Amino acid sequence: MHRLARSMTGTLAACLVTMAVTAATASAQAAAAGGPPPPAPQQGPMIVQQISSGFVLMPEIRYTELNHSWGTQIGASGGWLYDESLFVGGAFYGLVGGAGDQQLTYGGLLTGWSAPITDSLRVGVRGLFGWGHADTLEEWTDPGYCHHGTCYGPSTQKSWVYRDFLVFEPSVNATIRLARKLSLDVSGGYRLTGNNYYGWDNQVNGAFGSVGIRVGVF
């Protein structure tokens, strides 16, 4: 009887050892073969924000200085807005009233950069590089002269001056969203002009402020 019990105990121990070795071998093989990875940590929802590019058109009205007087300009700009930030296009402006019937037209390449402040407000800078034409009524002083014993004193006269010029016009602007494709643009800047005869021309240089309605991507 004791012999039978010792035989059964030995057999049971051998079976337990065999099962443990088999389980360890299977676990090692599963690890070597690359078992299922541990669960990834939980993350918050992914937010995807679409950035748009597209054509922008903006008619505007300006109040500007010309030859030390003020007048009204109308004009328009248009071009491509890339990633809602970089603008490349062109613009043209003409004087339509005020400034003593003087004339001023110019246009050229317009570039700009803007950045969002809120979902409905962007601020930025722009610069126009181009050419134009101005007719200004200017005062000049005749120093006087003598002729055959008769002398004429100095006198102040006015005359029209016609000139073509190059123009550089930096400005700052704020754009306010009104609707999905409609925005209000407010800007201010200074016009710098010159040519090879007058140099930088103080008669045509001048400040301006403008209001425009922008149609296109914000």
**Cα–Cα distance, 186 to 117 (Å, whole number):** 15
Average pLDDT over residues 166-184: 97
In tens, the pLDDT along 119-153 reads 999 999 999 999 999 999 988 777 777 877 788 77
Return the exposure string of 59-88: e unless at least 16 CB atoms fall within 10 Å of the residue's CB, then b: ebebebbbbeeebebebebbbebeebeebe
pLDDT: is 140 or 86 the higher one? Answer: 86
pLDDT: is 48 or 193 the higher one? Answer: 193
Banded model confidence at residue 175, pLDDT cuts 50, 70, 90? very high
Which residue segments constitute the domains of the chain, with CATH numbers given?
A: 54-136+163-216 (2.40.160.20)
pLDDT: is 159 or 8 the higher one? Answer: 159
Q: Is the pLDDT of residue 26 over 60?
A: no
Residue 165 has what pLDDT? 96
**Cα–Cα distance, 83 to 67 (Å, whole number):** 39
